[in-house]
Amino acid sequence: MTEEIDVSSLKTWIGNSETVSDYLTSSLVGRFHATLDPLLWLGGDGAPLGIQWCTNVSAAHTGKLSEDGHALKGDFLPPVPLPARMWAGGEIIHYQELSTDMSVIRISKVSDVVAKNGKSGPLFFVTIDQEFFSQDRLCISERQDFVFRDFPKTGKPITSKPASLTDTVRGTLMGKLTPDPILLFRYSALTFNSHRIHYDQGYACNTEGYPGIVVHGPLQATWLLNLAAKIVGKPPRRFSFRGLAPVTAGSPISLFHAGDKNSGKVWCEADNGVTSFVAQYHDS
């Protein structure tokens, strides 16, 4: 239980920060397009939406990776003593579009550490606030929410219940795709993400309890962010999102929309009725 973990010690990481400088190259943009077309919004003059998750990435040395493929905790992130981590969601505010062939600076800060007790055991939520600057201008501010949990008990794989049909009935089907291991591999390469749940089926199933290799949260967020931009006609001013359930490679995913050009909801839904990722957008 969370009472057995020194929460006060973990909270001392609040305020911890890192700054990463990078150059947003046209070659990275080209690889991004090659991986994600035709689901990208192409109406802007700047770099494609969602590419901030592919640039200014932290590069931990191989010797400083944990068993799951992530960087060891205790440096930037607090040393939460729970092994499994998930990108639970967050929020983006757009001020300016990032430009290709320009330098970008990312400033990230740990803003909160919260302990909770879930149905499956203790959970820790770590919030990261980020700002992306280019040409001395703030382009994007972002909140990222991460959740840490224990591995599931042996023989009890992670399962998800279908969502209510209410949203599907109200929503409009905007697209459909079936992510495969090649797409997941290429997106992991774009984001320098070595989390084994996205490519190592044995680890994903036998250690973390998933039924297969898992589709990235940021990848689903990128689909939905670009879908929202197509609806609004420009990058939505505010875009908040959260993961609801894991979805694995080979599972068809439908993209739905409900709302108008000013505000609304977009979401990813698997063929079994499970809503895996949902987002709200606002153009103000």
pLDDT in 10s for each residue of the chain, 284 residues: 455 788 899 999 999 999 999 999 999 999 999 999 999 999 988 999 999 999 999 999 999 999 999 999 999 999 999 999 999 999 999 999 999 999 999 999 999 999 998 777 889 999 999 999 999 999 999 999 999 999 987 655 555 555 544 444 569 999 999 999 999 999 999 999 999 999 999 999 999 999 999 999 999 999 999 999 999 999 999 999 999 999 999 999 999 999 999 999 999 999 889 999 999 999 98
Distance, CA of 147 to CA of 113 (rounded, Å): 10
Distance, CA of 133 to CA of 74 (rounded, Å): 26
Specify burial of residue 211 (Cβ count, 10 A radius: 0-12, 13-18, 19+).
middle
Number of structural domains the chain divides into? 1
C-alpha distances in Å from residue 154, one per residue of 83, 120, 196, 222: 15, 13, 18, 33
Distance, CA of 246 to CA of 274 (rounded, Å): 9
Q: Which DSSP string corresponds to 2-57?
A: GGGS-HHHHHTTTT-EEEEEEEE-HHHHHHHHHHHTTSS----SSSPTTGGGTSS-
The confidence score (pLDDT) of residue 165 equals: 44
Q: What is the CATH number of the domain that holds 233?
A: 3.10.129.10
Given a contact cutoff of 8 angstroms between Cβ atoms, the answer to whether 251 and 178 are in contact is yes
Question: Coil, strand or helix: which one is 117?
Answer: strand
Going by their DSSP bridges, the two strands 84-94 and 238-243 should be labelled as: antiparallel
Distance, CA of 43 to CA of 77 (rounded, Å): 36
Which residue matches tokens 């309890």? 209
Full residue range of the structural domain in which residue 146 is found: 2-282
* Structure tokens given for 177: 């795709």
Give alpha helix (H) positions in the chain: 7-11, 26-36, 166-170, 181-191, 201-206, 217-232
The contacts of residue 280 (CB under 8 Å, 6+ apart) are 239, 240, 241, 263, 264, 265
Nearest by Cα to 159 from 25, 61, 252, 270: 270
Specify burial of residue 184 (Cβ count, 10 A radius: 0-12, 13-18, 19+).
buried
